[in-house]
Amino acid sequence: MVSTTTATAETTSNPVVQENENEQKSKENGTAKASARHQAVGHKSLLKSDGLYQYILETSVYPREHESLKGLREMTANHPWNLMTTSADEGQFLMMLLKLINAKNTIEVGVYTGYSLLSTALALPPDGKIIAMDIHRKNFELGYPFMVQAGVSDKIDFREGPALATLDQMLTEESNLGFFDFIFVDADKDNYVNYHERLMKLVKLGGVIGYDNTLWNGSLVAADDEPLPKYVRYYKDFVLEINKVLATDPRIEISQVPISDGITLCRRIK
Ligand SMILES: C[S@@+](CC[C@H](N)C(=O)[O-])C[C@H]1O[C@@H](n2cnc3c(N)ncnc32)[C@H](O)[C@@H]1O
Please check whether residue 27 lies inside any domain of the structure: no
Kindly state whether residue 93 falls inside one of the protein's structural domains: yes
Does residue 11 belong to any structural domain of this protein?
no
What would the pLDDT profile of 73-98 be if each residue is shown by its tens digit?
A: 999 999 999 999 999 999 999 999 99
158 Cα: distance to centroid of ligand 1 (angstroms)? 12
Q: Is the CB of 86 under 6 A from ligand 1?
A: yes
Kindly state if the Cβ of 119 falls inside 6 Å of ligand 1. no
Closest protein CA for atom 16 of ligand 1: 188
User: Among 43, 74, 111, 164, which is best to mutate for testing ligand 1, by the most ligand atoms less than 8 A from CB?
Assistant: 111
pLDDT > 90? residue 31: no
Give the separation between CA 98 and CA 107, rounded to whole angstroms.
12
Q: Rounded to whole angstroms, how far apart are CA atoms 82 and 174?
A: 37
DSSP H or E run through 58: none
Q: Starting from the edge strand earliest in sequence, which strands make up the sheet with 203-212, in order?
A: 156-160, 129-134, 105-109, 180-185, 203-212, 263-268, 252-257
Q: Quick check: is 177 in a domain? A: yes
Number of folded domains that form the chain: 1
ipTM given for this complex: 0.99
- Residue 108 Cα to ligand 1 midpoint, Å, equals 9
For position 149, what pLDDT does the model report?
98
Measure 110 CA to ligand 1 centroid, in angstroms: 3
Q: Is 108 in the pocket of ligand 1 (CB under 6 A)?
A: no
Q: Beta-carbon neighbour count of residue 129 at 10 Å?
A: 16
Q: Is residue 133 in some structural domain?
A: yes
Average pLDDT over the chain, rounded to an integer = 87
Cβ(116) – ligand 1 distance below 6 Å = yes
Q: What is the pLDDT of residue 47?
A: 75
Give the model's pLDDT for residue 49: 82
Say if 1 falls within a structural domain.
Answer: no
DSSP conformational letter for 6: B
Q: Tell me, using a 6 A CB cutoff, whether residue 121 lines ligand 1.
A: no
The kind and range of the H/E element at 129 are strand 129-134
Query: To test ligand 1's pocket by mutation, which of 22, 186, 232, 260 has the most ligand atoms within 8 angstroms of CB?
Result: 186
Query: Which protein residue has the closest C-alpha to ligand 1 atom 18?
Result: 162
Angle at 181 between CA 91 and CA 89, to 5 degrees: 10
| pTM of the predicted model as reported, rounded to 2 decimal places | 0.87
Is 5 within a domain? Answer: no
Domain of 127? Answer: 46-268
Neighbour count for residue 98 (Cβ, 10 Å): 25
Instruction: Calculate how far, in angstroms, residue 10's C-alpha sits from the geometric centre of ligand 1.
Output: 15
pLDDT of residue 146 exceeding 50: yes
Higher pLDDT, 8 or 250: 250
The answer to whether position 3 is within a domain reads no
Rounded to 5°, the CA angle 54-42-83 comes to 100
**How does pLDDT run across 40-65, given as a tens digit for each residue?**
444 567 777 888 889 999 999 999 99
β-bridge mates for residue 184, sequence order: 108, 210
Measured by CA distance, the residue closest to atom 13 of ligand 1 is: 110
Provide the CATH number for the domain around residue 66: 3.40.50.150
- Measured in Å, residue 66 CA sits from the centre of ligand 1 at 23
Whether the CB of 134 sits within 6 Å of ligand 1: yes
User: Would you say residue 24 has pLDDT above 50?
Assistant: no
